Structure 1
Amino acid sequence: MRQHADRFVTRVTARNRLPLDYSVASLRVVDFLVDGLRKGKADRERVAGTLFGLGAYVGEVLVRRAGAVWVDFDAEQRTYFGQPVGVRMPDGRVWNPLGKVVNRFEAGREESLQTFYLLLHGRARQEAS
């Protein structure tokens, strides 16, 4: 999934100066991008690849900033989440960043990805510098 995220970032930043640097603050940019897809009245199937790329990016932010690891979902989790992969947090909780991006697309602002991260349970504690 890291490679999916990296390829997505390379592709969308090739012509734009989007600050997709895997920071927590960059999740606000992801919210903005999803809002743009919504405003354009795109149907979900037409933007499925973009949503997948954004979901991979959000998951990779969790990996790099919160101590998560990518995991393949088992059959029950795939049914529940509707996705093949997710992330496991240091405390063992499993989250679905691909699905969170789809939720943002379908529901709008109340599904903020930046807020999702900030309220996320199970993150690794950041050491004070």
Structure 2
Amino acid sequence: MEAADEWIPDAGRMRSYAAAFVARATARGRLPLDYSVASLRLVDALVDGLRKGGADRERAHDTLFDLGAYVGEVLVRRAGGAWVDLDERQRAYFGQPVGVRMPDGRIWNPVGKVHNRFEAGGPQESLGTFYLVLHGRARGTAA
């Protein structure tokens, strides 16, 4: 991935970013990154491991982005969301150029949520809980 100041992700490529991350993460190990809601607990653990391992936000930037792409793809596959490019106002609010629009029209920021987990840690920033309390999921989607 290119340096953050040279590279701006777009909604049309987020699925491929998530897939590339899963391929890299599962190539050497047996990480159960299967786009399930349960796998979000593993994402919590991976983010916590980065923080506890002493990584600073700049050094962890690409990995945090990849984890955010994965979380967003879980929202797309399991909750009926769709990746969207954010407008200028939304970018200013979320601090990200992309988000996930839920079936009810609400926009969520999975990449930012992963960054929040890294910065704050703790159960209040759990990505698994984020999904479970997520408003706007399509009816009948797996929880």
Interval containing the TM-score (normalised by the shorter chain): over 0.9
SS at match of 1:46: helix
1:99 aligns with 112
In the alignment, is residue 122 of structure 1 matched against residue 136 of structure 2?
yes
Shift of 1:24: 0.2
TM-score by length of 1: 0.97
1:41 CA drift (Å): 1.3
**Partner SS, residue 22 of structure 1:** coil
Give, in whole Å, the separation in 2 of the partners of 1:55 and 1:44. 14
SS in structure 1 of the partner of residue 58 of structure 2: coil
Quote the offset at 1:127 in angstroms: 6.3
Instruction: Note the residue ranges of structure 2 that are not aligned, 5 or more in a row.
Output: 1-13
Deviations 1:12-50 (A, max 9, x none): 111110000000000000000001001101100001000
The total of aligned residue pairs comes to: 128
Match of 1:126, SS state, is: coil
Structure 1's consecutive aligned runs of 4 or more residues displaced over 6 angstroms after TM superposition are none
Q: Which runs of 5+ in 1 are unaligned?
A: none
Q: Percent identical across equivalent pairs?
A: 77
Conserved 8 A contact 2:81-2:137: yes
> Which of residues 20, 29, 32 in structure 2 aligns to 1:16?
29
Q: Structure 1 residues 120, 127: closer, same or farther in 2, change over 3 A?
A: closer
Structure 2 CA distance for aligned equivalents of residues 85 and 116 of structure 1: 18
- Over the residues paired in the alignment, what is the CA RMSD in angstroms? 1.1
The two structures have a TM-score, normalised by structure 2, of 0.88
Residues 1-129 of structure 1: matches in 2 within 5 Å? Answer: 1-109=14-122, 110-126=124-140
